[in-house]
Amino acid sequence: MASLSSSVASRSYCSGYSASISPVDGNHRHRSLSFLSASPHDFCLRFQRNSGRASVFMQDGAIIANSNSTESKSSLKGLKDEVLSALSQEAAKVGVESDGQSQSTVSITVVGASGDLAKKKIFPALFALYYEDCLPEHFTIFGYSRSKMTDAELRNMVSKTLTCRIDKRANCGEKMEEFLKRCFYHSGQYDSQEHFTELDKKLKEHEAGRISNRLFYLSIPPNIFVDAVKCASTSASSVSGWTRVIVEKPFGRDSETSAALTKSLKQYLEEDQIFRIDHYLGKELVENLSVLRFSNLIFEPLWSRQYIRNVQFIFSEDFGTEGRGGYFDNYGIIRDIMQNHLLQILALFAMETPVSLDAEDIRNEKVKVLRSMRPIRVEDVVIGQYKSHTKGGVTYPAYTDDKTVPKGSLTPTFAAAALFIDNARWDGVPFLMKAGKALHTRSAEIRVQFRHVPGNLYNRNTGSDLDQATNELVIRVQPDEAIYLKINNKVPGLGMRLDRSNLNLLYSARYSKEIPDAYERLLLDAIEGERRLFIRSDELDAAWSLFTPLLKEIEEKKRIPEYYPYGSRGPVGAHYLAAKHKVQWGDVSIDQ
């Protein structure tokens, strides 16, 4: 897929046409642009260098576009824009003439359809989008995997995970039935061009001559990403619309393997066709982070080292690896959670105001944050691993008790780290990350602890140490999504007694509409070509360059993790790390 072809094909109105660009005076070499077409509607764009005049002609000689803008047409981009504008106008006419035959359709292929992710997340998210009328009028869903299965068997498998959790505006059973009729299956190997060619034939049958846009979701192990992309690109990509590929993490294990994966993918795809998904960026409260900051005057002036003492990103799960230890042991908690989920949220939190809400403007600012970060020192990191623990007569297993985990494994299931951003806004502010499995609770939250009030009157008058009770903004990503601000307040009564109270926005109380799953938002964005919540290759490079030296030192020196009981708050070392930077973890205080 050449760069020009992919960028042109990303607009549905471009399909079905061919174009040539030739100089009027005949003194320059002929240049042509292919629009991947079998259509009789041909165009010719002529550009006269001396006058700067550009014209787009139909094959019969009719002029359909004229321009005198010398500056913009002196480049390939200018020429291409002129052609696209002409094609857009003509495609609209053709659409009327062909009685709807040129309408576009979206074909979504879930590669790895028999896996847990597909069954538990992707198909339910697609159904939720269909239930909400967010999918195009013409769409088809294909499952593709090595398992032998019929269309009916796929539908039966998918139906078991579908729920009508959204407000019922229509009959749930009818909607499910209609959705399942759009689901089909094709069995094949992930590295077989022949099998992907067969898939292509089936897709074309369902596309019925319409402009075809194709989305491939790679719900497969990373070691077969490239094979699947190669086959999809060469044997099953769209020749009349766009082709996009969603890639699930992990994106490599370190800088070297990540760069190799990116290089391999770009042999078959352009960067704007690759959608690297981090489902945490699709969480409602994460997406609300920039809204909270940039649209509320009370927060934006406070968002700096002058008022913020520290920022904490906390992720905890109350269960262990539970049978997927083989996968987890190869990556560990730092790669699995910190290098992607938490670091992406940190970049969104700390970035400067982007020029616009355009995907590239936002991602540019995120990259600046990542490149400004100080290398992580091993002394600023604590790693742990959960051990067996008996509570209430129930014995919970250790990490190494999992049969899929190698005996004697030192892979961390917990990590805490202090990171710093060396720029004018955040100089000296510790950004603390903490992530772990088999902890006392399941949660994900951002905690912003503000500095104490200088010369506070009430320290002296009441004897209360309000330095320990500073304002704190908490953004709870999951569960029970909420935003609340901790403030100091007078307790009602004749005396002067203060306590901490919350100004609370609990989403379930404020909004009756159920919050969409992150996969719903990200799938819809991929279909619509919205990239701001997906990771660009230079973001990925910057993230890995930050964590790769740390991971190598931990693994090469075989650093032994600190063991903590299953169901506890994690290793004691995490509290010493926070204290070292004059911070107290917000999730362990009495009034958390």
Q: Which active-site residues does the annotation give?
A: 341
Short-list 100, 135, 96, 136, CA closest to 209 = 100
Count of alpha carbons within 13 Å of 204, Cβ hemisphere only?
Answer: 12
Strands 18-23 and 42-48, how do they pair? Answer: parallel
d(CA 550, CA 255): 12
d(CA 438, CA 453): 37
Short-list 293, 283, 282, 281, CA closest to 479 = 283
Cβ distance 248 to 288 under 8 Å? no
Ordered alpha helix ranges (H), 379-495: 457-462
Mind giving me the DSSP string for 438-461?
SBS--EEEEEEEEPPPTT-HHHHH
Strands (E), 62-132: 63-67, 104-111
Q: 512 burial class (0-12, 13-18, 19+ CB within 10 angstroms)?
A: exposed
Residue 328 CA to chain centroid, in angstroms?
20
- Helix H or strand E segment including 185: strand 183-187
Residue 514 CA to chain centroid, in angstroms?
21
- Classify residue 318 by its DSSP letter: S
Q: DSSP 3-state assignment of 435?
A: strand
d(CA 142, CA 125): 14
Place of tokens 């089909």: 184
154, amino acid identity? L
d(CA 362, CA 530): 12
d(CA 334, CA 383): 9
Structure tokens, 466:
């309000």
d(CA 69, CA 408): 70
Sorted by sequence, the CB contacts under 8 Å of residue 311 that are 6+ apart come out as 346, 349, 350, 429, 430, 431, 432, 446, 447, 448, 449
Short-list 139, 154, 155, 145, CA closest to 107 = 139
Sorted by sequence, the CB contacts under 8 Å of residue 550 that are 6+ apart come out as 334, 376, 378, 381
Sorted by sequence, the CB contacts under 8 Å of residue 77 that are 6+ apart come out as none
Largest CA distance in the chain: 95
Strands (E), 451-576: 472-478, 482-490, 498-506, 534-535, 562-565
Residue 518 CA to chain centroid, in angstroms?
9
Cα distance between the two ends of the chain: 52
